[in-house]
């Protein structure tokens, strides 16, 4: 390896890592947080079988899962200004990622809820608990426990998908790398470098998943 | 009289499962509900606790009269707070420890302070012989242990009546025996119980009254001793003889 290339790689490391820590990770965590709220609400709406709301929930999932994430980002960031709605890049990315991931996780959590045996609900009714109490204290915790591996999968996947936010001018890790490439003309080394940093982030998440499963593993579902 | 229900009817689609059942339970009674599989015993029990909505029927429970087809959610909740229900397959809350399974209803439904609920739960677990298992999750317990915790959960709120839906059917004979001995103890303490069961020995030796059902109707009901020693209906005699034969074959 030439001395110049080595220099470029070491110099760029922090320039890539810092936007990773200050943009990619917050973007992932904030978006996933809102995605979980959306997902839980949409899953519960479907589970409760309220006709109109359920139709709205199905429509939302149908549209979001049926269109590319990149298109959704472009519609919100470049399209909405046409009708006078201007959103800054970062909040626009959070909005799109939350809504997108929410649709997928809603299905994951719904499957988790449906996997909880009906006897759990009946047992709650028989000790006098209300529907909401049973949902909050018995069914949802079990559904989340069942969904946990799949949800961990989603956040790992999302960490990498945030690189698409570069397309709407969010200076996250990937965009930072692109800029250095444009200056240095070393695409191979630099894109591998950023790839490795994504890999490290995802490895940490995988470890957290294992730890979480171990923690939750005491009651087997 | 603590419970009286009259004219309970229930159909699932075209299948008429209950064709006008009457049942009466006095305080301290242990009523065994017997009958072949598919006779509607379990459905009767589930209708009495509103896990199934009856198509017809009236109920008197602990001083109040209810129309079983027009009962409000609030009234159902009120009844359930004064009854216990034990399921065939236990249905312990899988995300709660044995202790939490017992305290859950006390804290959420009855608004009992947590500390008081925990003390009550510990005492109740001790009563069913599960004192050392309070912090175990259901998956860490045997079937018999799970059912004893389920019984503790059902009786912790000092219910006026406890329903048992084939409580030992999912258990091998040894585990069934430990559950039945807990139930016998409760019966001796004067707990009012309605027990759907295939355990004939339990019905014969512990229950005070028997209801024998077939095809969604009561064939014969009466005092346990009379029921077993001098059954009035031919169908009852056949059922008792076959049960006795089956018992001998097992030995």
pLDDT in tens, A70-123: 999 999 999 999 999 999 999 999 999 999 999 999 999 999 999 999 999 999
Cβ contact B232:B218 at 8 Å? no
pLDDT confidence of B245, banded at 50, 70, 90?
confident
How many other CB atoms are there within 10 angstroms of residue A62's CB atom? Answer: 11
Domain span holding position A58: 3-216
pLDDT confidence of B247, banded at 50, 70, 90?
low
Residues B64-86 have a mean pLDDT of 94
Alpha-carbon distance B111 to B94, whole Å?
A: 22
Q: Give the distance from CA A67 to its chain's centroid.
A: 16
Best residue of A121, A123, A146, A220 to probe chain B, by most B CBs closer than 10 Å: A123
Alpha-carbon distance A61 to B130, whole Å?
A: 47
Alpha-carbon distance A36 to A196, whole Å?
A: 27
B81 touches chain A (CB under 8 A): yes
Residues B196-223 have a mean pLDDT of 94
Q: Which of residues 96-115 of B touch A (CB under 8 A)?
A: 96, 104-105, 108-110
pLDDT at A221 over 80: no
Q: Which residue has 């479907």 as its token pair?
A: A46
Residue B194 pairs with which residues in a beta bridge? B31, B163
What is the pLDDT, as a whole number, of residue A2?
A: 86
B91 touches chain A (CB under 8 A): yes
How many CA atoms, within 13 angstroms, populate the side-chain half-sphere of residue B30?
A: 21
Mean pLDDT of chain B: 94
Tokens of residue B190, six digits = 């004067």
Kindly state whether residue A84 falls inside one of the protein's structural domains: yes
Q: Which of residues 116-155 of B touch A (CB under 8 A)?
A: 137-139, 153-154
Tokens of residue B162, six digits = 């406890």
Q: How far is B80 from chain A (nearest CA, A)?
A: 5
Q: How far is A36 from chain B (nearest CA, A)?
A: 21
Helix (H) or strand (E) holding B132: none
pLDDT at A217 over 80: no
What is the pLDDT, as a whole number, of residue B248?
A: 64
Kindly state whether residue A221 falls inside one of the protein's structural domains: no
pTM as predicted? 0.88
Kindly state whether residue A47 falls inside one of the protein's structural domains: yes
Best residue of B53, B79, B108 to probe chain A, by most A CBs closer than 10 Å: B108
The CATH number of the domain where A44 resides is what? 1.10.3720.10
Cβ contact A186:A37 at 8 Å? no
The number of folded domains in chain A is 1
pLDDT digit string, tens, across residues A132-146 = 999 999 999 999 999
pLDDT digit string, tens, across residues B96-116 = 999 999 999 999 999 999 999
CB contact under 8 A, A128 and B84: no
Kindly state whether residue A115 falls inside one of the protein's structural domains: yes
Q: Which of A130, A137, A142 sits opposite B104 (nearest CB)?
A: A137
User: What class is the B12-82+160-251 domain?
Assistant: alpha beta
pLDDT at B13 over 80: yes
pLDDT at A157 over 90: yes
Best residue of B71, B84, B92, B95 to probe chain A, by most A CBs closer than 10 Å: B95
pLDDT confidence of B249, banded at 50, 70, 90?
low
Residue A101 to residues A56, A81, A125, Cα–Cα distance (Å): 17, 23, 33
The answer for residues whose C-beta is within 8 angstroms of residue B49's C-beta and 6 or more apart is A126, B79, B80, B83, B85, B163
The answer for residues whose C-beta is within 8 angstroms of residue A139's C-beta and 6 or more apart is A113, A116, A120, A121
Q: What angle do CA B92, B98, B100 make, to 5 degrees?
A: 90
Q: Which of A125, A127, A133 sits opposite B51 (nearest CB)?
A: A125
Helix (H) or strand (E) holding A220: none
B194 touches chain A (CB under 8 A): no
What is the pLDDT, as a whole number, of residue A214?
A: 86
First to last CA, chain B: 40
Alpha-carbon distance B203 to B231, whole Å?
A: 14
pLDDT at A57 over 90: yes
- The candidate with the shortest Cα–Cα distance to A142, out of B96, B109, B139, is B96
pLDDT digit string, tens, across residues A190-203 = 999 999 999 999 99
CB contact under 8 A, A129 and B139: no
pLDDT confidence of A216, banded at 50, 70, 90?
confident
More confident: B191 or A50: B191
pLDDT confidence of B251, banded at 50, 70, 90?
low
Angle of helix B98-108 relative to helix B114-127, nearest 10 degrees, comes to: 130
pLDDT digit string, tens, across residues B25-62 = 999 999 999 999 989 999 999 999 999 999 999 999 99
B contacts of A117 (beta carbons < 8 Å): 91
Q: For a pLDDT cut of 90, what percent of chain B falls above it?
A: 93
Per-domain boundaries in chain B: 12-82+160-251, 92-159
Kindly state the DSSP code that residue A23 receives in the 8-state scheme: I
Alpha-carbon distance B19 to B42, whole Å?
A: 14
């Amino acid at each position: 390896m030439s001395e110049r290339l080595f220099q470029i790689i070491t110099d760029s490391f922090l320039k890539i890592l810092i936007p990773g820590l200050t943009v990619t990770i917050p973007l992932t965590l904030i978006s996933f947080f809102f995605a979980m709220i959306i997902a839980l609400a949409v899953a519960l709406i479907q589970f409760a079988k309220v006709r109109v709301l359920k139709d709205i929930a199905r429509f939302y999932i149908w549209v979001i899962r049926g269109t590319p994430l990149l298109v959704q980002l472009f519609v919100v960031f470049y399209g909405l200004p046409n009708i006078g709605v201007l959103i800054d890049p970062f909040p626009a990315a959070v909005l799109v990622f939350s809504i997108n991931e929410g649709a997928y996780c809603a299905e994951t959590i719904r499957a988790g809820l449906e996997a909880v045996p009906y006897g759990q609900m009946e047992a709650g009714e028989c000790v006098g608990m209300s529907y909401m109490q049973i949902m909050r204290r018995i069914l949802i915790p079990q559904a989340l426990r069942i969904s946990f591996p799949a949800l961990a999968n989603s956040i790992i996947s999302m960490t990498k998908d945030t690189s698409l936010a570069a397309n709407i001018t969010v200076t996250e890790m990937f965009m930072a790398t692109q800029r250095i490439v444009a200056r240095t003309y070393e695409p191979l080394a630099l894109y591998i470098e950023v790839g490795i940093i994504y890999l490290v982030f995802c490895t940490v998440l995988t470890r957290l998943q294992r730890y979480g499963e171990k923690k939750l593993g005491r009651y087997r579902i | 009289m603590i419970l009286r229900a009259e004219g309970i009817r229930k159909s699932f689609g075209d299948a008429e499962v209950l064709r006008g059942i009457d049942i009466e339970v006095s305080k301290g009674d242990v009523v065994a509900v017997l009958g072949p599989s598919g006779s509607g015993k379990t459905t009767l029990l589930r209708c009495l606790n509103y896990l199934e909505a009856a198509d017809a029927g009236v109920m008197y429970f602990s001083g109040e009269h209810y129309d079983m087809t027009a009962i409000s959610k609030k009234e159902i909740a009120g009844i359930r707070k004064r009854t216990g229900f034990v399921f065939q397959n236990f249905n312990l809350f899988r995300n709660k420890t044995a202790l939490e399974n017992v305290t859950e209803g006390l804290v959420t439904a009855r608004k009992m302070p947590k500390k008081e609920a925990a003390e009550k739960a510990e005492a109740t677990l001790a009563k069913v012989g599960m004192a050392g298992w309070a912090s175990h999750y259901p998956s860490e317990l045997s079937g018999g242990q799970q059912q004893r915790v389920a019984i503790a959960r059902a009786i912790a709120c000092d219910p006026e009546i406890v329903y048992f839906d084939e409580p030992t059917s999912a258990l091998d004979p040894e585990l069934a025996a430990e559950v039945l001995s807990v139930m016998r103890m409760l019966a001796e303490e004067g707990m009012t119980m309605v027990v759907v069961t295939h355990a004939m020995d339990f019905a014969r030796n512990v229950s005070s009254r028997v209801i024998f059902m077939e095809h969604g109707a009561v064939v014969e009901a009466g005092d346990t001793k009379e029921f077993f020693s001098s059954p009035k209906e031919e169908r009852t005699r056949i059922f008792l003889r076959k049960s006795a034969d089956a018992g001998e074959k097992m030995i």
